[in-house]
């Protein structure tokens, strides 16, 4: 059973197709946008997480239909995010720090690493037990729980011309393609980061993702347009565990 995740079931992968190379055919057009047919939200598991205070990381879930982002506490609104997201997944941010009635968060926006302030009253802050590190040089994804290494997985990453960007990101959505044996496997996480070389890709904004593949032989190589590829059994393992808002550090 999937724990503390939100799954948007879509006829085609929505945002991730914007920068991920396909599996069987790297030149294949990205799937077309489709509305989610169902979505679920965490309940019991999230409640348990909120009761525990010993978390190294925290996420902030939007409470209302939109969240305004400010340049400073009591400052100027610099942008607004809609809730839910276009995929149907609820809006979430990674918390950088809290200050009185304000929360400083990482944003799912360009440029990579963008941050801003949101009102604490507009979000619900919860603990996140996991962290993901992607080591591009080693082609390895490391999963940590409360800062203890749990497992390692081989990954495929971007090519020299379309590299996987480095930095601190977070999981903003979990998508379930209609065809689990397709280019993106059974699940695809959308990250808050974007390609540094592709401003758009097949009609999308160049979002980076973590997903499965129908070409397991491509895992462990530089093959994608920037996304991080896992074997299908490995993305299933993560999809059962990682909540939205989980930090993802892409390292050298």
- List the Cα angle 195/197/201 in 5-degree steps: 65
Task: State residue 36's pLDDT score.
Answer: 30
List 58, 104, 225, 227, catalytic entry: 227
What is the Cα–Cα distance from 68 to 174, expressed in whole angstroms?
A: 23
Domains and CATH numbers, the chain: 7-37+129-251 (2.40.440.10), 44-128 (2.30.30.40)
Mean pLDDT of the chain: 84
The share of the chain scoring above pLDDT 70, in percent, equals: 76
Task: State residue 199's pLDDT score.
Answer: 64
Look up tokens 């993702």; give the residue. Answer: 209
Does residue 45 carry a pLDDT above 60?
no
List 58, 104, 211, 225, catalytic entry: 211
Known catalytic residue at 211: yes
List, in order, residues 6 or more apart from 54 with CB less than 8 Å away: 127, 146
Does residue 111 carry a pLDDT above 70?
yes
Task: State residue 84's pLDDT score.
Answer: 98
Contact 248, 190 (CB under 8 A): no
pTM: 0.84
Kindly calculate the radius of gyration of the chain based on its CA atoms and give it in whole angstroms. 17
Task: State residue 54's pLDDT score.
Answer: 82
Task: State residue 63's pLDDT score.
Answer: 98
Tokens of 62: 């939007």
61 φ, ψ (degrees, to nearest 5): -95, 135
pLDDT digits (tens, 9 = 90+) for 171-215: 999 999 999 999 999 999 999 999 988 665 554 578 999 999 999
Lowest mean pLDDT across 31-35, 104-108, 216-220, 228-232: 31-35
Does residue 140 carry a pLDDT above 60?
yes
Task: State residue 206's pLDDT score.
Answer: 86
């Amino acid at each position: 059973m999937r724990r503390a995740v939100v799954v948007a079931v879509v006829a085609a992968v929505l945002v991730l197709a914007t920068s991920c190379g396909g599996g069987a055919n790297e030149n294949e057009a990205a799937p077309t946008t489709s509305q989610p047919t169902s979505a679920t939200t965490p309940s019991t598991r999230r409640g348990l997480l909120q009761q525990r205070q010993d978390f190294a990381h925290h996420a902030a879930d939007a409470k209302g239909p939109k969240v305004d982002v400010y340049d400073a506490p009591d400052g100027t609104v610099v942008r607004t995010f809609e809730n839910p997201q276009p995929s149907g997944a609820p809006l979430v941010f990674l918390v950088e720090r809290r200050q009185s009635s304000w929360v400083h968060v990482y944003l799912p926006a360009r440029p990579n690493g963008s941050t801003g302030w949101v009102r604490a009253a507009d979000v619900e802050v919860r603990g996140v037990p996991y962290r993901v590190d992607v080591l591009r040089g080693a082609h390895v994804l490391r999963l940590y729980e409360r800062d203890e290494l749990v497992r390692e997985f081989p990954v495929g990453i971007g090519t020299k011309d379309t590299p996987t960007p480095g930095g601190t990101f977070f999981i903003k959505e979990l998508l379930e393609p209609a065809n689990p044996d397709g280019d993106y496997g059974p699940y695809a996480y959308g990250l808050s980061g974007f390609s540094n070389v592709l401003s758009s890709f097949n009609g999308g904004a160049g979002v980076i993702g973590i997903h499965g593949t129908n070409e397991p032989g491509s895992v462990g190589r530089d093959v994608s347009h920037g996304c991080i590829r896992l074997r299908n059994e490995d993305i299933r393992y993560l999809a059962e565990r990682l909540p939205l808002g989980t930090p993802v550090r892409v390292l050298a």
